[in-house]
């Protein structure tokens, strides 16, 4: 077995571009997912009538179908259904945001519900209003508890972005596939791709650790 | 003669509470005058906690009326919050806010409920922490304090909004015996200063030493309501005598 380093060297610029695309999609995906998930998680935790059922349906649909199917649906089926055509990049980011959003909904809901009811009682007994109790007590405590599971979800989302190669988005995995076809050197290309993913997930994990350490989980 | 409009700080009549179909409190008529110290006892499940929670409207009443410091629940301009502001509550499990230091716990009420400036709230907090003997611990988080210290901070926190009545739900039950004394001492000092207090407890010696009234509850009703010395010396019913035998 010979490992030709020059193949990796030549492929490097394209792989860096792919990694950049992966990072962009991931950032948009987890950013959007955080917004969706926080909102939906609070709706579920506080059982806002009617819309909590819509949220339940959304979470069930996302959790109950493979993310590949979701990507295919958004990219290929949606244009037929409602006449909107998305670029591959937009479809991928939207898909990842919707997907992460459903899981983050559960993370947020779980964190809010895990906060001892006695603390809410103590706040109300002081004479705080319910929104004040959420803002000063339940919110800050629940927020801390979301951080470890969020870190996990961010890494899953980053890796999930690889399957957007099925809709032809030029992210890292898709570049890997193309480069393999061009060079015929699967060993070098996929090793390099794996290393790129490792570097990105490891960095993300370290960032989350840092935040975790800064804020004691109570 | 200048009589206050309401001689009672707490007055409830025909107060009832049910969870679903289960009645937990029935026909509670209770009046507590300013400065009175009332100890409530009764077997587990008799509704003692629920009664305290109804008195500061952490639980909505099912029936009956409640008046605290002249404010009638449900009347125009009287929200549950208005009543809660006048009643401080101390819980069995302390329920200190774990992300805040002792001082921040005590400051929260004055800041958010009484609208005090940070500086003023801090002074209020430090005065109360000093009073419960914990000024040196002001910067510590609850988990760095012993149970007895946590409960004293919780008392300071409840006092910080200047309530007219203090409600205690088994404040020493979660504490090791050697830590109970420090909490009971703080409560006894409060009683001596004339604070109106309703205390659910199994500490009969505290009841004897500090209470003006002893209430015995059973099956969601007030069965006896009298002077503690008299009730201890001469138990008014077989049921109460039996109960005393269990707790003493
Ligand atoms: N949120 C609730 N939902 C349903 N039932 C409840 C609820 N809270 C209390 N109960 C019931 O009401 C009854 C009275 O409970 P409560 O806690 O007031 O009793 P207690 O006298 O404080 O007992 P203990 O000495 O064990 O603290 C119990 O039978 C309890 O199961
Ligand atoms: Mg109880």
- Residue B113 and residue B107 in contact, taking contact as beta carbons nearer than 8 Å: no
Ligand 1 neighbourhood includes B151 CB (under 6 angstroms): no
Q: Which CATH code, of 2.60.40.10, 3.40.50.800, 2.160.20.10, 3.40.50.300, is assigned to B8-202+211-247?
A: 3.40.50.300
Which residues neighbour A8 within 8 Å (Cβ) at sequence distance 6 or greater?
A: A188, A189, A191, A192
Ligand 1 neighbourhood includes B48 CB (under 6 angstroms): yes
Q: What is the pLDDT of residue B76?
A: 74
Chain A positions in Cβ-Cβ contact with residue B109 (cut-off 8 Å): 126-128
With CB atoms and an 8 Å threshold, state whether A118 touches B112.
Answer: no
Tell me the C-alpha distance between A197 and A199, whole Å.
Answer: 5
Give the pLDDT confidence of A184-197 residue by residue, as tens digits: 999 999 999 999 99
pLDDT at A53 over 90: yes
Pairing state between β B87-90 and B63-68 = unpaired
pLDDT at B3 over 50: no
Alpha carbon A163 to chain centroid, angstroms: 13
pLDDT at B5 over 60: no
Best B96, B97, B164, B171 member to test A by mutation, with max A CBs in 10 Å, is: B97
Q: The whole model's pTM is what?
A: 0.86
Chain B, window 132-151: residues with a beta carbon less than 8 angstroms from a chain A beta carbon? 143
Tell me the C-alpha distance between B195 and B166, whole Å.
Answer: 7
Nearest alpha carbon to residue A39 among A101, A113, A93? A101
Counts for chain B of helices (H) and strands (E), in that order: 9, 10
- Residue A157 and residue A31 in contact, taking contact as beta carbons nearer than 8 Å: no
pLDDT at B38 over 50: yes
Q: Which CATH code, of 1.25.40.10, 3.40.50.150, 1.10.3720.10, 3.40.50.1980, is assigned to A5-214?
A: 1.10.3720.10
Q: What does the radius of gyration of chain A's CA atoms come to, in whole angstroms?
A: 21
Question: Residue ranges of the domains in chain B?
Answer: 8-202+211-247
Q: How far is the CA of B120 from the centre of ligand 2 (A)?
A: 35
3-state secondary structure (DSSP) of residue B14 = strand
pLDDT at A217 over 80: no
Nearest alpha carbon to residue B170 among B145, B193, B187, B149? B187
CA of A128, closest CA in chain B: separation in Å? 6
Nearest alpha carbon to residue A123 among B221, B96, B203, B62? B96
Task: Please count the residue pairs, one from chain A and one from chain B, whose beta carbons lie less than 8 angstroms apart.
Answer: 63
Ligand 1 neighbourhood includes B50 CB (under 6 angstroms): yes
A133 → chain B, closest CA residue: B112
Nearest alpha carbon to residue A147 among A205, A67, A187? A205
3-state secondary structure (DSSP) of residue A215 = coil
Q: Is B112 on the interface with A (CB under 8 A)?
A: yes
The end-to-end CA distance of chain A, in Å, is 52
Which residues neighbour B213 within 8 Å (Cβ) at sequence distance 6 or greater?
A: B36, B37, B38, B39, B225, B226, B227, B228
User: Which pLDDT band, with edges at 50, 70 and 90, does B6 fall under?
Assistant: low
Q: Is B88 on the interface with A (CB under 8 A)?
A: yes
What's the Cα-to-Cα distance from B117 to each of A127, A160, B222, rounded to whole Å?
Answer: 17, 50, 43
Three-state SS string over B165-204 comes to EEEEECCCCCCCHHHHHHHHHHHHHHHHCCCEEEEECCCH
Residue A2 phi/psi, 5° resolution? Answer: -120, 135
Tell me the C-alpha distance between A199 and B152, whole Å.
Answer: 50
Ligand 1 neighbourhood includes B42 CB (under 6 angstroms): yes
With CB atoms and an 8 Å threshold, state whether B89 touches A122.
Answer: yes
Give the pLDDT confidence of A61-106 residue by residue, as tens digits: 999 999 999 999 999 999 888 888 899 999 999 999 999 999 999 9
Mean pLDDT score of chain A = 94
Give the pLDDT confidence of B67-86 residue by residue, as tens digits: 998 888 877 777 888 899 99
Give the pLDDT confidence of A111-158 residue by residue, as tens digits: 999 999 999 999 999 999 999 999 999 999 999 999 999 999 999 999
Question: Residue ranges of the domains in chain A?
Answer: 5-214
Q: What is the dihedral of CA A110, A111, A117, A120, to 10 degrees?
A: -130
Which residues neighbour A193 within 8 Å (Cβ) at sequence distance 6 or greater?
A: A15, A172, A173, A175, A176
Ligand 1 neighbourhood includes B201 CB (under 6 angstroms): no
With CB atoms and an 8 Å threshold, state whether A122 touches B88.
Answer: no
CA of A75, closest CA in chain B: separation in Å? 45
Q: Which helix (H) or strand (E) is A148 found in, with range?
A: helix A139-160
Mean pLDDT score of chain B = 93
CA of A107, closest CA in chain B: separation in Å? 20
Higher pLDDT, A212 or B3: A212
User: Which pLDDT band, with edges at 50, 70 and 90, does B126 fall under?
Assistant: very high
Q: Is B96 on the interface with A (CB under 8 A)?
A: yes
Q: What is the mean pLDDT of residues B150-172?
A: 97
For chain A, which residues lie within 8 Å of any Cβ of chain B, measuring from their own Cβ? 116, 118-119, 121-129, 132, 136-137, 140-141, 144, 218
Tell me the C-alpha distance between B170 and A93, whole Å.
Answer: 54
Nearest C-alpha to atom 6 of ligand 1 is from which residue? B19
Q: What is the pLDDT of residue A83?
A: 82
With CB atoms and an 8 Å threshold, state whether A127 touches B96.
Answer: no
Give the ligand with the smallest distance to the CA of B26. 1
Residue B233 phi/psi, 5° resolution? Answer: -65, -35
Ligand 1 neighbourhood includes B49 CB (under 6 angstroms): yes
3-state secondary structure (DSSP) of residue B31 = strand
pLDDT at B236 over 80: yes
Q: What is the pLDDT of residue A210?
A: 92
Residue B93 phi/psi, 5° resolution? Answer: -95, 20
User: Which alpha helices (DSSP H) does chain B contain, by range?
Assistant: 48-55, 80-86, 102-112, 118-131, 147-159, 177-192, 204-210, 228-233, 238-247
What's the Cα-to-Cα distance from B217 to each of B25, B51, B59, B210, B222, rounded to whole Å?
Answer: 10, 10, 18, 19, 5
Q: What is the pLDDT of residue B1?
A: 43
């Amino acid at each position: 077995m010979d490992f030709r380093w020059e193949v990796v060297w030549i492929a490097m610029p394209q792989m860096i571009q792919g990694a950049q695309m992966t990072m962009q999609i991931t950032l948009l995906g987890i950013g959007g997912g955080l917004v969706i998930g926080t909102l939906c998680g609070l709706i579920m935790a506080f059982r806002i009538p009617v819309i909590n059922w819509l949220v339940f349906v959304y979470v069930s649909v996302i959790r109950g179908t493979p993310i590949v199917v979701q990507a295919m649906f958004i990219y290929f089926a949606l244009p037929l259904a409602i006449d909107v055509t998305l670029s591959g990049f937009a479809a991928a980011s939207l898909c990842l945001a919707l997907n992460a959003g459903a899981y983050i909904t559960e993370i947020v809901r779980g964190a809010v519900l895990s906060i001892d009811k006695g603390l809410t009682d103590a706040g109300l007994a002081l004479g705080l209003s319910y929104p004040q109790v959420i803002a000063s007590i339940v919110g800050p405590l629940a927020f801390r508890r979301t951080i470890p599971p969020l870190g996990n979800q961010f890494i899953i989302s980053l890796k999930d972005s690889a399957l957007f190669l099925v809709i032809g988005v030029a992210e890292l995995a898709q570049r890997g596939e193309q480069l393999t076809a061009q060079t015929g050197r699967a060993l070098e290309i996929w090793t390099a791709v794996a290393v790129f993913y490792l570097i990105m997930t490891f960095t993300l994990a370290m960032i989350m650790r840092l935040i975790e350490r800064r804020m004691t989980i109570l | 003669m200048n009589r206050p409009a309401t001689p009672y700080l707490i007055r409830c009549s025909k107060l009832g509470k049910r969870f679903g179909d289960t009645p937990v409190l029935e026909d509670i008529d209770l009046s507590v005058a300013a400065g009175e110290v009332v100890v409530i006892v009764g077997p587990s499940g008799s509704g003692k906690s629920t009664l305290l929670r109804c008195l500061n409207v952490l639980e909505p009443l099912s029936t009956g009326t409640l008046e605290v410091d002249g404010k009638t629940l449900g009347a125009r301009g009287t929200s549950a919050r208005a009543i809660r502001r006048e009643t401080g509550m101390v819980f069995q499990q302390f329920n200190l806010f774990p992300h805040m230091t002792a001082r921040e716990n005590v400051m929260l009420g004055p800041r958010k409920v009484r609208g005090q400036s940070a500086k003023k709230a801090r002074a209020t907090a430090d005065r109360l922490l000093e009073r419960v003997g914990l000024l040196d611990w002001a910067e510590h988080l609850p988990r760095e304090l012993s149970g007895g210290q946590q409960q004293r901070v919780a008392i300071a926190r409840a006092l910080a909004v200047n309530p007219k009545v203090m409600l205690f739900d088994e404040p020493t039950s979660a504490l090791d015996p050697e830590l109970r004394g420090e909490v009971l001492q703080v409560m006894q000092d409060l009683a001596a200063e004339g604070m109106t207090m309703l205390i659910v407890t199994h500490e009969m010696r505290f009841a004897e030493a500090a209470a003006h009234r002893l209430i015995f509850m059973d099956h969601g009703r007030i069965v006896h309501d009298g002077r503690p010395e008299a009730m201890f010396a001469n138990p008014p019913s077989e049921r109460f005598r039996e109960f005393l035998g269990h707790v003493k």
